[in-house]
Amino acid sequence: AQRVTQPEKLLSVFKGAPVELKCNYSYSGSPELFWYVQYSRQRLQLLLRHISRESIKGFTADLNKGETSFHLKKPFAQEEDSAMYYCALFNDYKLSFGAGTTVTVRA
């Protein structure tokens, strides 16, 4: 069965510092991975997906099949990046979510 692990529940960084959110997965096939974000008092929304290989709001995520990881990175964190971030793996119609990481960016 697939599994998504986000080892950090909380992450606090200063504005302008780099931020990296870790995501590891276990899955026997070729994974389809996503990062979702939930800003305060807002609904969950897609941030990016690995197949697009795009940068959204300065965030990037690279799939590393050897390490079974899909870490989310941003070189210079902004205060508006404070949110809950979820890594998710798609399989068989469904998404499996990690436990989430709450990011706080301090001025």
Partner 1 sequence: NAGVTQTPKFRVLKTGQSMTLLCAQDMNHEYMYWYRQDPGMGLRLIHYSVGEGTTAKGEVPDGYNVSRLKKQNFLLGLESAAPSQTSVYFCASSSPGTSKNNEQFFGPGTRLTVL
Please tell me the distance from the alpha carbon of residue 41 to that of residue 52, in angstroms, as a whole number: 27
**56 to 85, contacts with partner 1 by CB under 8 A?**
none
Distance CA 34, CA 80 (A): 20
Q: Which of 3, 57, 65, 94 binds partner 1 (CB under 8 A)?
A: 94
Applying CB under 8 A, which of residues 9, 53, 60, 64 lies at the interface with partner 1?
9
**Minimum distance from residue 76 beta carbon to partner 1 (Å):** 27
Q: Does residue 104 bind partner 1 (CB under 8 A)? A: no
Q: C-alpha angle with apex 17: 81 to 60, nearest 5 degrees?
A: 60
